[in-house]
Amino acid sequence: MSNLDLARWQFAITTVYHFLFVPITIGLSAMVAGFETQWLRGRNPEMLRLAKFFGKLLLINFALGLVTGIVQEFQFGMNWSAYSRFFGDIFGAPLAFEALLAFFLESTFLGVWIFGWGRIPEKAHAACMWLVHIGTLLSAYFILAANSFMQHPVGWKYNATTGRAELTDFVAVLTNKVQLVTFPHVVASAYLVGGGVVMGVGLWLLHKHRGTKDSLMYRKAARIGAVVTLLAGAGVAVTGDTQGKIMTEVQPMKMAAAEALYTTQDHCAAFSLFTIGSLNGQSQKAAVKVPCVLSFLATGSFEGKVDGIDDLKASLPAQLQKQARAEGVPAAYSQPADAVYTPNIPLAYWSFRLMIGVGMTSTIVALGVLWVTRKGRTALAKPWVWAGIAVPLLPVLGNSFGWIFTETGRQPWLVYGVMSTKTGVSGNGAGTVLTSMVVFTLLYAALAVVEVRLFLDYTRRGADPAPPDPDAASTDEHDTPAPVSFVY
């Protein structure tokens, strides 16, 4: 494999791995903050127990999310130095903003939250977790703004004197229309994950503790998780739909690839549920299609026109090259050398379907959970327990498929239409990149095993019993700190 292939693989591995933990952190921090706030409002000890219990799961997960994020930040310089030089003027700023506005907030207040039980006022303690959550959202905003720029570059110009892209309008970068639909979509997906984890873990523990008083608490958790999953699912669908239309507008090839649609449909394009056989446009054996739905997804009208791959292949290169020339970008950057203007179709097609499929499935399961736990029911049929185990996994995978789709669908460009992926890579030898890829992948694999084991062990154990007297946990100014659950 070439240096370029390895750098791409490494980026894919790092990003997908990092993004297994990010949505859990975003979603779960909100859930934990919510439980703790509920406890402050109603003094129901169950809410405190849930806050502490899910807090532990959050911490196990946060640790890995953080360390993989570090690699992410430095990877641009290590593997994509030509890109960093060319676009750093624009791309670096959101990253620096993320560090300054979000990372400090998350790290500092998570530290205070962990060690602050009984040492700071209760309201301040709950506020710490909300600040952690706000930090995760800010983090997501800036990173997605940087990514949206790569999908749809705005607010920049090419400077021929310095030979690089330069920022002209930072507000435009932060309010990129792709960003304005991507951010809500990603955040809703993260809440879907957070809700799914709480619902799934709650269901499983409800079953384990059936017949005991604790089952009522876990039932509550499962139901709260289910409600969040449903609301988030609706949010994911609405934002995803809007995103589809913007995507069709700015990256028509991505939508065509997502559907493996080769010939342009002037009206009423069908949405393909799945296809058996090859996706090369010729040897399709069977496909299940829903008429007109693709037109609606892509344009908002059942009668809308959707461009096919073949037609785009003929018209898109000239159009993009013209745009790049108008910006003054040298052809060496903007034109993929081997003139491949289509992304990997099967990858785009299947990741798009899986993303939507798992998202919808988890919402349906959530509805079912609300039904089977209605009116104080705590006895569950076995399949619901299995659903409880599967449900947190589904949206996590859905998020991964979403990123695989959106990132591979942008190919062959790093920055759509402006800089081809090939021209952005560092000059390091393939051996160097391979070394780091092997090291990181092995490290990630080992850490994944550790984290999953810990996560399962803590889940299996369940929530700690309620503290004997909740008032004793209030602020004390004595020299001897009260034994607190989170001290190392």
Judge whether 387 and 203 are in contact, CB under 8 Å. Answer: yes
Would you count residue 175 as binding other proteins (CB under 8 A)?
no
Would you count residue 70 as binding other proteins (CB under 8 A)?
yes
Q: Within 275-314, which residues bind other proteins (CB under 8 A)?
A: none
Would you count residue 172 as binding other proteins (CB under 8 A)?
no
The binder of other proteins chosen from 26, 58, 110, 228 (CB under 8 A): 110
- Tell the smallest beta-carbon distance from residue 272 to other proteins (Å): 41
b/e burial code for range 16-25 (CB count within 10 A of at least 16 → b): bbbbbbbbbb
The binder of other proteins chosen from 4, 12, 167, 237 (CB under 8 A): 167
Residue owning tokens 């301040």: 124
Q: Three-state DSSP class for 62?
A: helix
Would you count residue 449 as binding other proteins (CB under 8 A)?
no
Nearer to other proteins, 220 or 353 (CB): 220
Q: Within 111-130, which residues bind other proteins (CB under 8 A)?
A: 111-112, 114-116, 119-120
CA distance linking residue 378 with residue 217, whole number of Å: 10
Neighbouring-strand partners of residue 290: 271
Would you count residue 215 as binding other proteins (CB under 8 A)?
yes
CA distance linking residue 227 with residue 196, whole number of Å: 10
Would you count residue 450 as binding other proteins (CB under 8 A)?
yes
Q: Within 371-430, which residues bind other proteins (CB under 8 A)?
A: 378, 426-428
Would you count residue 101 as binding other proteins (CB under 8 A)?
yes
DSSP, res 225:
H
Nearer to other proteins, 56 or 185 (CB): 56
- Tell the smallest beta-carbon distance from residue 108 to other proteins (Å): 4
- Tell the smallest beta-carbon distance from residue 104 to other proteins (Å): 5
- Tell the smallest beta-carbon distance from residue 327 to other proteins (Å): 16
Q: Which two tokens stand for residue 74?
A: 């430095």
Would you count residue 462 as binding other proteins (CB under 8 A)?
yes
- Tell the smallest beta-carbon distance from residue 44 to other proteins (Å): 15
The binder of other proteins chosen from 45, 92, 317, 357 (CB under 8 A): 92
Would you count residue 447 as binding other proteins (CB under 8 A)?
yes
The binder of other proteins chosen from 20, 31, 33, 60 (CB under 8 A): 60
Phi, psi angles (nearest 5°) of residue 289? -130, 145
- Using the contact rule CB under 8 A, the part of the chain among 86-94, 180-188, 254-262, 281-289 near other proteins is 86-94
Nearer to other proteins, 9 or 170 (CB): 170
The binder of other proteins chosen from 100, 290, 449, 472 (CB under 8 A): 100
CA distance linking residue 156 with residue 162, whole number of Å: 14
Q: Is cis: bond before 412, omega within 30 of 0? A: yes
- Using the contact rule CB under 8 A, the part of the chain among 67-75, 245-253, 295-303, 305-313 near other proteins is 67-75
Q: Within 216-255, which residues bind other proteins (CB under 8 A)?
A: 216
CA distance linking residue 17 with residue 465, whole number of Å: 34
CA distance linking residue 109 with residue 102, whole number of Å: 11
Where do the H-state alpha helices sit in 43-121?
45-79, 81-97, 104-115
DSSP, res 98:
I
CA distance linking residue 7 with residue 15, whole number of Å: 12
Phi, psi angles (nearest 5°) of residue 468? -55, -45
Total number of residues that touch other proteins (CB under 8 A): 90
Would you count residue 170 as binding other proteins (CB under 8 A)?
yes
Phi, psi angles (nearest 5°) of residue 47? -65, -40
Nearer to other proteins, 216 or 347 (CB): 216
- Using the contact rule CB under 8 A, the part of the chain among 28-36, 309-317, 334-342, 475-483 near other proteins is 475-483
- Using the contact rule CB under 8 A, the part of the chain among 280-288, 361-369, 389-397, 431-439 near other proteins is 431-439
- Tell the smallest beta-carbon distance from residue 116 to other proteins (Å): 7
- Tell the smallest beta-carbon distance from residue 334 to other proteins (Å): 19
- Tell the smallest beta-carbon distance from residue 429 to other proteins (Å): 9
b/e burial code for range 30-59 (CB count within 10 A of at least 16 → b): bbbbbbbbbbeeeebebbbbbbbbbbbbbb
Where do the H-state alpha helices sit in 283-429?
293-299, 309-327, 331-334, 345-372, 382-408
Nearer to other proteins, 231 or 482 (CB): 482
Q: Three-state DSSP class for 304?
A: coil
- Using the contact rule CB under 8 A, the part of the chain among 85-93, 182-190, 256-264, 320-328 near other proteins is 85-93
Binding mask 136-165 for other proteins (x = CB under 8 A): -----------------------x--x-x-
Q: Which two tokens stand for residue 292?
A: 């007109």
CA distance linking residue 25 with residue 62, whole number of Å: 6
Nearer to other proteins, 105 or 260 (CB): 105
Q: Three-state DSSP class for 193?
A: helix
Q: Which two tokens stand for residue 82?
A: 């030509």
